[in-house]
Structure 1
Amino acid sequence: MKRVYIGGYGPGIVTVGGGLTRLASPSFLAAHPTLPVLYAAGELERGWLTALEAGETLAPLDERPSEGSLPCHVAVDPTGSVLAAANYGDGVAVIYRLDARGAFDGEPIVLRHQGCGPNAERQEGPHAHQAVFHDGILHVSDLGTDEIRRYRYDGTTLESIKLQPGTGPRHFAFSGSRLYVAGELAATVTLIEDGRHTVVPASPEQGTNFPSHLQLDGDFVYVANRGPDTITVLRADDLSYVAEVPAGGEWPRHFAIDGTTMYVAGQHSDTVTAFELKDGVPEPTGEVYEAESPGCVLIM
């Protein structure tokens, strides 16, 4: 039976239908692909990465430093052998090997970065925001330097993917050779394919916007918009507009999709709202869960 876990900036991880596992600012969660192990990024000034065994309750398994400031994202590669985390505060990304139990194994590989962007207030230096494994390569979005950084699992640096100056790439997703990127600073969605960039507004009909999470599901791209507090639906093939609907809460920081159900975390309303996807468009189900300052929803 699947469970819904909610992380964020409150006192710990909320299990929907269960209890609270106390943990300091578990702002992002990730699941091991084959083991009942959950990972949390503790977004403290000098952060921690925590592994927990997921059974009837969450039990501590292991913990290591994130090697940087303000870890905001954590991910596990499809083989379950490697974990990576992104530290927003100083742009550091880190790679850890995982053992057969899903615990951390050996010393970390610390990936430091330099650079800046045209937005003096937000791009004064590197700000790693998401770690994504694709085709055996670790990709790290850097809001501060307008690029998707690329690394081999041994830490070897590869050529990065550049975005338009001032984009502020936050969350992104792949579909084969296509790359979709939410630009937090430019309020855009970018599709990169064969070197061509297609750029559209993340919220076509709204004003000031700071897009947060982007996710692909079937033929659609979904984007959470902070400011207008909406979810935008775009067609994956050409980023054409399908719909934009209220997110069900304030400041939608993240969402997760399980089949035809979408859960949206409203950070400033202390709610997680459930939607049913009908022909790709989210419609509210009436289910709303309370969680203090939610920042991430994980279904496993």
Structure 2
Amino acid sequence: MAEVAYIGGYTPDTDGSGPGITLVELGSLARLGETAASGPSFLAVHPTLPVLYAVGESERGTVCVFARAGDGTLSPLAQRPSEGSAPCHLAVDPTGTRLAVANYGDGTVSVHGIDGSGLLTDVWIFPYREGAHAHQAVFGPDGVLYVSDLGSDEVRRYLVGDEVVPHPAGPVRLASGMGPRHMAWSDGHWYVAGELDGTVRVYEVSDGLDGLDGSDGSEVSGGEWREVAAVPASGVDGHNQPSHLEVSGGLVYVANRGPDTISVFAGPGLEPVAEVPCGGVWPRHFAIADDRVYVANQRSDGVAVLPLKGGVPQPSEEVFAVGTPSCVLPLP
């Protein structure tokens, strides 16, 4: 099977009969299929099982589980509440035993167990706090679950084992007014996009043990973060709301909504390398695969294909038409 991608977005029809999740072949940009789903604004796959997970971004949020056939087509297996409102991100831990969901609307975080068939089991819920807006949930190389909270300018941390508990060292406080949205790990550093102040910041993380007790009684790291660089995400004048951020090949890529560009920086010092048009309007998300950047331009209803040359995106060569795309998930 050729390399494919799943594209999630906002279902245009209130009855849920819109396209939902679109399957596309990346090389030819051939449309291979569509699966109905309501508001599947973010997608994730199981690391070993042919299973895909999607949030349902609505007031009463949901998580949907789909089986993936050999040709990539999806079949619904189950649906359950996300335990919060407007879920906008989810991630599966590397062991394939936990699914974390960030509920942006009320700031809750839920962590769901995953059984041997990929279905969801127990759930741990970390409730709403005043002003909280959980925006992304990612598992770090230390096994800790990190949740960027745009409303409180912090990164919440959870220990994931037989139980899921808040990290004993508490959350990491970031720059006031930053509005952390998406983050990515690389070589001892966390890179974070600030949606509210239009910055990209990089933090060096200590990894020494400091005697804190984990959920199983073991010693865990407090993981002290030290900011080492902060730069504007875009050099274009005017308002900017950075969205997605990725690190690849030592370069940091950031999508800028407003300027409608992709910026490239050299890590970890965040020296500017390039800033190029994103090939559409309001780049909500992007993915790097096969020497190309696939940009989900939400307000121009298309995924733009930007070839990479020396790590720098080139002008868009093609655009795959799809309504309100918000997530691109490539798979081999």
* One-letter amino acid of the counterpart of residue 28, structure 1: F
Same amino acid, percent of matched pairs: 53
Deviation at 1:113, TM superposition (A): 4.3
Cα distance in structure 1, aligned partners of 2:321 and 2:67: 24
**Equivalent pair of 1:111/1:155 in contact (CA under 8 Å):** no
Partner secondary structure for residue 268 of structure 1: helix
Partner secondary structure for residue 156 of structure 1: strand
Cα distance in structure 1, aligned partners of 2:175 and 2:297: 29
* Pairs within 5 Å for 1:201-212: 201-212=232-243
* One-letter amino acid of the counterpart of residue 76, structure 2: P
Report the aligned-residue RMSD: 1.2
Q: Which runs of 5+ in 2 are unaligned?
A: 12-17, 25-30, 206-224
Cα distance in structure 2, aligned partners of 1:13 and 1:137: 29
Aligned match for 2:226, one of 196, 209, 212: 196
Cα distance in structure 2, aligned partners of 1:9 and 1:144: 23
Q: 2:154 matched to 1:138?
A: no
Q: 2:138 matched to 1:108?
A: no
Q: Which moved more, 1:264-273 or 1:4-13?
A: 4-13
Q: 2:294 matched to 1:280?
A: no
Deviations 1:203-258 (A, max 9, x none): 02332100000011111000000000000000112100000000001000000111
Deviation at 1:284, TM superposition (A): 3.4
* One-letter amino acid of the counterpart of residue 74, structure 1: L
For 2:263, the equivalent position in structure 1 comes to 232
Q: 2:159 matched to 1:152?
A: yes
Q: 2:29 matched to 1:15?
A: no
TM normalised by structure 2 equals 0.85
Q: Select the structure of larger CA radius of gyration.
A: 2
Aligned match for 1:88, one of 78, 100, 104: 104
Cα distance in structure 1, aligned partners of 2:63 and 2:198: 30
Cα distance in structure 2, aligned partners of 1:52 and 1:220: 33
Superposition misfits of 4+ residues, deviation over 3 angstroms = none
* One-letter amino acid of the counterpart of residue 165, structure 2: T
Cα distance in structure 2, aligned partners of 1:102 and 1:208: 42
For 1:186, the equivalent position in structure 2 comes to 197
Cα distance in structure 2, aligned partners of 1:291 and 1:171: 23
Partner secondary structure for residue 152 of structure 1: strand
Cα distance in structure 2, aligned partners of 1:259 and 1:219: 16
**Equivalent pair of 1:141/1:149 in contact (CA under 8 Å):** yes
Give the number of aligned pairs: 290
For 2:220, the equivalent position in structure 1 comes to none
Q: Which moved more, 1:204-213 or 1:19-28?
A: 204-213
Deviation at 1:112, TM superposition (A): 1.6
TM normalised by structure 1 equals 0.94
